[in-house]
Amino acid sequence: MNQVERIGVSLDKKLLSMFDKLIAKQGYQSRSEAIRDFIRQQLSGERLTNPKAKAVGAVFLVYDHDSTKLMQKLTDLQHSHILQTISSMHIHLDEHDCLEVIVLRGQVGEINKMADSLLSMKGVKFGRTNLLATEPTSDW
């Protein structure tokens, strides 16, 4: 266990009350736990601004499965990026639409590049990418 230091924080009463409401809504049991997580969140977000930082990312995309060419292209792109592609999941949303979740690992820049290639394919209706920095967090 790392050394723990106690700090005192001065806060405007109103701000503190809003903070307490927020963390209660989110299910936090204590301010300390919430503050620790908020700091980690900021640190992780800051790491994502570095294209060389290590990360995992999930690309969510919705497309019409009647476009068989697109399905082939999606698969091809994953096979040609075998080191980055960890896993993928396919969900049939309705008669036509499918949701594909593709999980990628690598450097932030690589992940974003591949995510952009996936999302800009003809036939992809919409989607989004979610990234999480994975650089050692054992010391946080």
Residue numbers at the binding site for Ni ion (CB under 5 A): 65, 92, 98
Q: How far is the CB of 61 from Ni ion (least distance, A)?
A: 12
Helix (H, G, I), strand (E, B) or coil at 21: helix
Which lies closer to Ni ion via its Cβ, residue 31 or residue 92?
Answer: 92
Contact assessment for residue 119 and residue 57, using Cβ atoms and an 8 Å cutoff: no
17: amino acid identity, one letter: S
The residue nearest Ni ion at its CB is 98
Which lies closer to Ni ion via its Cβ, residue 52 or residue 79?
Answer: 79
Which lies closer to Ni ion via its Cβ, residue 36 or residue 92?
Answer: 92
DSSP 15: H
Contact assessment for residue 64 and residue 97, using Cβ atoms and an 8 Å cutoff: yes
Q: How far is the CB of 63 from Ni ion (least distance, A)?
A: 9
Which lies closer to Ni ion via its Cβ, residue 47 or residue 81?
Answer: 81
Which lies closer to Ni ion via its Cβ, residue 21 or residue 92?
Answer: 92
Q: How far is the CB of 103 from Ni ion (least distance, A)?
A: 14
For residue 34, what are the CA distances in angstroms to 9, 22, 68? 14, 10, 47
Q: How far is the CB of 54 from Ni ion (least distance, A)?
A: 24
Spatial distance between the Cα atoms of 51 and 111, rounded to a whole number of angstroms: 9
Q: How far is the CB of 98 from Ni ion (least distance, A)?
A: 3
Of the candidates 50, 63, 8, the one whose C-alpha atom is nearest the C-alpha of residue 32 is: 8
